[in-house]
Structure 1
Amino acid sequence: MLKSLLLASAASLALTGAAAAELAQIKPEGYRTALDGTFAPHAMPTMSGGVEGFNVDLAAAIGEKLGVPMEVTAAQFSGLIPALQAGTYDFLVAPTTVTEERAQNLLFTEGFMDTNFRFTVPKGSEAEGFDSLEDFKGLTIAVNKGSVYESFLTERAAEMGWTVVAFGTNTDAIQAMTSGRADANMAGATVSAWAVQKNPQIALSYEYATGLVWGLPFRKDDVATRDLIDSVLECLKTDGTMAAPSEKVSARPRC
Structure 2
Amino acid sequence: MFTRLFATAAITAAMITGPALAKDSYTVALDGTFAPHAMPKLDGGIEGFNVDLANEIGKRLGAEMNIVATQFSGILPGLQAGTYDFVVAPTTITEERANNLLFSEGYLNTDFQFVVKAGTPEITDLKEFNGKVIAVNKGSAYDSWARELADEIGWTVESFGSNTDAVQAVISGRAFANVAGNTVSAWAAKKNPNIETSFLYSTGKVWGMPFRKEDTELRDTVENVIECMKIDGTIAAMHEKWFGMPPAEGSVALTPLPGHGQPGFDGYAEDGHTPSC
**TM-score after normalising by structure 2:** 0.80
Indicate the percent of aligned positions where both proteins have the same amino acid: 59
SS class of match (2:238): coil
Q: Counterpart of 1:212 in structure 2: which amino acid?
A: K
Partner of 1:230: 223
Secondary structure of the 2:226 match is helix
Q: What's the counterpart of residue 190 of structure 2?
A: 197
Check conservation: 2:21, 2:217, Cα contact below 8 A: no
Contact 2:24 2:62 in 1 (8 A): no
Greater Cα shift, 109-118 or 40-49:
40-49
Q: Using a 3 Å threshold, how does the CA distance of structure 1 residues 25 and 247 change in structure 2: closer, same or farther?
A: farther
* Aligned counterparts of 2:184 and 2:219: Cα–Cα separation in 1: 26
Offset at 1:27?
A: 2.7
- Cα offset, 1:24, TM superposition: 2.1
The residue that corresponds to 1:13 in the other structure is none
Of 76, 88, 94, which residue of structure 2 is paired with 1:99? 94
Q: TM-score, normalised by structure 1?
A: 0.86
Q: Is 1:62 equivalent to 2:57 in the alignment?
A: yes
Contact 1:140–1:163 (CA under 8 A) maintained in structure 2: yes
5+ residue gaps, structure 1, are: 1-19
CA distance in 1, matches of 2:198, 2:142: 15
SS of corresponding position for 2:37: coil
Where relative contact order (Cα < 8 A, 6+ residues apart) is larger, the structure is 1
Instruction: Report what 2:32 is aligned to.
Output: 37
What is the Cα deviation at residue 26 of structure 1? Answer: 4.2
Q: What corresponds to 1:164 in structure 2? A: 157
Partner of 1:3: none
Deviation beyond 6 Å, 4+ runs, structure 1: none
- Tell which structure's C-alpha radius of gyration is larger: 2
Quote the Cα distance in structure 2 between the aligned partners of 1:52 and 1:142: 24
Match of 2:167 in 1: 174
Unaligned runs of 5+ in 2: 1-14, 243-275
User: Given residue 106 of structure 2, which amino acid in structure 1 is its aligned partner?
Assistant: G
Contact kept in structure 2, 1:96 and 1:216, CA below 8 Å: yes
Paired position in structure 2 for 1:17: none
CA–CA distance in structure 1, aligned partners of residues 54 and 113 of structure 2: 26
Find the residue that maps to 1:203 and give its secondary structure. Answer: strand
Q: 1:115 and 1:186 mapped to 2: Cα distance? A: 12
What amino acid is aligned across from residue 179 of structure 1 in structure 2? Answer: S
Residue 118, structure 1, aligned to residue 119, structure 2: no
Instruction: Provide the rounded CA distance (Å) in 1 between the counterparts of 2:129 and 2:95.
Output: 26
Aligned length: 229
